[in-house]
Amino acid sequence: NTGPPKAFYTRAEVLAMTGKSWPTLHRWQAQGIFPRSVRLGPNSVGFRCHEVDEFMRDPEGWRAENTSKQSPE
């Protein structure tokens, strides 16, 4: 089953990947040390896969200013 690459992780996927709570990730987003969520619809947000993958490779070194222009939620 080959389709286009996945563009966004869901909030649940990101919480499972990081093992962190939503309040922690929300705080980290505000501090610029975790990728910002992107509004996908009226009741859903997602996280750009490439940004989360970069964070997971180097959590200590990841900073928002090192990625493409960030969109507010």
Structural contact between residues 64 and 30, judged by C-beta atoms closer than 8 angstroms: no
Could you read off the pLDDT tens digit of each residue along the chain, which spans 73 residues?
A: 677 778 999 999 999 999 999 999 999 999 999 999 999 999 999 999 999 999 999 999 998 887 654 444 4
How far apart are the C-alpha atoms of 12 and 44, rounded to whole Å? 11
The answer to whether 52 and 58 are in contact (CB under 8 A) is no
The rounded distance, in Å, linking the Cα atoms of 18 and 11 is 11
pTM of the model: 0.81
pLDDT at 7: 95
HEC string for 6-62: CCEEEHHHHHHHHCCCHHHHHHHHHHCCCCCCEEEECCEEEEEHHHHHHHHHCCCCC
